[in-house]
Structure 1
Amino acid sequence: MKKNPEFRIKHYGFNELPEPARRSLLLRFTDQLTHFMALLLWVAGTLAFISGTPELGWAIWAVIWINAGFSFSQEFQAEQALAALNKMLPVRAKVYRDGTLSEIPVREMSCNWKRAIASLPMPEWFQINLCMSMSQC
């Protein structure tokens, strides 16, 4: 197997995560109203109305909406924080290639991570499977 960075980039791709598919805010809020526990609460609220206790039914449905609001808000804030962290990542890095120091885009970095991890001091009982696919094992 070749060890050069060009081969690793061609074989494994660039050192970056794919951008996740974006869903609309309305769909993401709807997800908070239709997950399994929310559906159970919708049924419980409906059963409360059927059994003649509308106060309990309204209270259960209010819990669903309040929970959806908080959950949606937390999810949105987490996405914003992740986007802010992503903007803080460096764009270029200094690396040694063929014994010379050069500056390359971070997305083109291809670390020999197996050698880097293998060089760490670890107890003998500690085993790590360093295979990225079954063909490498």
Structure 2
Amino acid sequence: MKLLILPAFAILLIANAQAQAAVEKEKACTVNDMNGRWVSYQGAVLGNPHTGICKFKVANGLAQGECDFSVGFKGPFTGEIVVNPDCSADFAMDFNPASVVSDFQVQLHKDKKSFVGRWSNNFGVIGVTNAVKR
């Protein structure tokens, strides 16, 4: 009986390790997970309090879109996105020719169709953000 238990236990351990590796591989994110059309909502909590909505498209790590803010500013932006294997991401919104650049640190949800995070801009304004993929 003991001779059957040890091989069976070893097989279970190997199967568990393989299943765990498959789950970890499935969870890993790449820049392609950001590809698509997004709608994000921002709220400034320090500095110039305001809210905003942005609609943008991401393709191969490059974003472009337009934002509309409650303080009267509306304009296009471009930016580059870096996605880490743990599904955290960093990106910038450059509102050139306006002198506003916002930096975002976000975390993608496990379904890779939404994110939450924080942002700050070159004027010292800090806020929160969330988005959904459309």
Which bin holds the TM-score, normalised by the shorter protein? 0.3 to 0.5
| Rg (Cα) greater in structure | 1
Q: TM-score, normalised by structure 2?
A: 0.35
Could you tell me the TM-score, scaled by structure 1's length?
0.34
Higher normalized helix content (fraction of residues): 1
Structure with a larger share of its residues in strand:
2
